[in-house]
Each structure stands twice: as structure tokens, then as C-alpha cells.
Amino acid sequence: RKTAILISGRGSNMSALISAAMQPEYPAEIALVLSNRPDAQGLERAADLGIATAVVDHKEFAGDREAFERQLDAVLREHRIEFVALAGFMRILTPFLVGAWSNRMINIHPALLPSFKGLATHERALEEGVKLHGATVHFVSAEMDDGPIIIQGAVPVLDTDTPDTLAARVLELEHKIYPKALALVAGGKARVAGARVTGGGCET
């Protein structure tokens, strides 16, 4: 199934998805990497790996989020994309794009949702003193960092952790669960049933 990855920066989750999709039998093909920032590091990495890339620069749409998204949607359609994986894509989405890709767009968030939505998740996890932290892959819905959960992974929080050491532990886990989640979705195994997903999973 033709899949696009949307990025804004480094693209380490993007790389993990591309590597997984190079394995035989993987149910998704990464057909496009699309960035809203022309200088996103991940674009170069994707091109080096032989993946088609495109840029839709949000700055060219003068704050008109829907016009920006209409252009994104047009590029996705041009490439005959069936699934979209957001991987560090730092734009808030309007109901237009969310609706157009309902049940076909997934995101990874570096926390155990519904805890710690938004930014600075690792700092906040340490401030709250949680003992388990992690990452979540979920279908994208109209609310930010919301939507039916496909896979969650958990890691321990250590007494010695700083936001950086905790972020590194979570990132390693992200790179494992995101390829699994995309495989479940593209392979038709994880399905939305109301507010929940059946056929998802967890990892520690």
C-alpha cells in the first residue's frame, strides 16, 4: 500500500519506517516523503535512500492552513498515496485534512497518551514523577494528539534521567513501534472500531 511520510525535521522515525518497508513482505511501500520545511534534514536522507520527496512550504500560504493542506492533499493524490504517516510533522491540522484522510492517517507521539499531549513531553514526565513513560502511535483525529490508539510502548523512568536521556530511551522505542503500527494498519490488521482500535498492540 502506497504510503507517504510527512516530516518537518530530523526524520529518524521516517528512516525507521523506510528501513522496515524495504523488508520483503512488509505491507506498505514508502512512495513519498513530504516536508513543510525545505531545510528538513530528513529530506536529504530520504532522497539518498531513493525515495521520492516533495516540499509544500507552509510559509507560502500566508497563514491559510486550509489552503496549505489542500496543496498537501493534491500532492498526496498525485502520488496515489493510500496511507499517511506523520513523523515529527509540526503543523496543527484542520478538519479538512483530518477528514480527507480519516482512518488512513497515523501519528507517533512521544508519551503514553492520553498523558502529556503537546510538546516537551519528556520534561513534563520528569516533573510529574511518572515511573513509566513511552510512545503512542494513533490514528489522527480532529483533536491534537488524540484519536484511536494503535500501539503503545513503555520504558522505565530512571532516577538519574534528564529530559535528554529519557528522550533517547523513548526514541529507540518509537523506532520499533512505528514500523509495527504502520504494518498493522497497511496490512488491514488494526481497524478502528468506534473510539478503539482492534488488532493493535503494546511493547515494553
The reply, when asked if residue 1 is annotated as ligand binding, is no
Which residue stretches of the chain are H helix? 12-21, 41-48, 65-78, 95-100, 121-128, 163-186
Cβ closest to ligand GRF, residue 44 vs residue 78 = 44
Look at residues 108, 103, 56, 59 and name the one whose alpha carbon lies nearest to residue 82. 103
Residue nearest to ligand GRF (CB): 88
Cβ closest to ligand GRF, residue 2 vs residue 10 = 10
**CB 191 to ligand GRF: min, Å:** 23
Q: Which of the residues 109, 122, 133, 175 is marked catalytic?
A: 109
Both ends of the chain: CA-CA distance in Å? 28
Tell me the three state secondary structure of residue 71.
Answer: helix
Cα 182 to Cα 137: distance, rounded to the nearest angstrom: 9
The answer to whether 138 is a known catalytic residue is no
The reply, when asked if residue 184 is annotated as ligand binding, is no
105-109 and 132-139: which strand pairing?
antiparallel
Up-side HSE of residue 60: CA atoms within 13 Å toward CB? Answer: 11
Cβ closest to ligand GRF, residue 12 vs residue 152 = 12
The reply, when asked if residue 90 is annotated as ligand binding, is yes
The reply, when asked if residue 80 is annotated as ligand binding, is no
Cell numbers linked to 68: 496549505
**CB 7 to ligand GRF: min, Å:** 6
Cβ closest to ligand GRF, residue 88 vs residue 153 = 88
The reply, when asked if residue 65 is annotated as ligand binding, is yes
Look at residues 27, 8, 68, 35 and name the one whose alpha carbon lies nearest to residue 179. 27
**CB 126 to ligand GRF: min, Å:** 16
Binding site residues, ligand GRF, CB under 6 A: 7, 9-14, 87-88, 108-110, 171, 174
Q: Kindly tell me the sign of the dihedral angle through the C-alpha atoms of 110, 137, 65, 61.
A: positive
The answer to whether the CB of 143 falls within 8 A of the CB of 194 is no
**CB 184 to ligand GRF: min, Å:** 18
Active site residues: 109
Indicate the annotated binding residues: 11-13, 65, 90-93, 107
Residue stretches of the annotated binding site for (6R)-10-formyltetrahydrofolate: 65, 90-93, 107
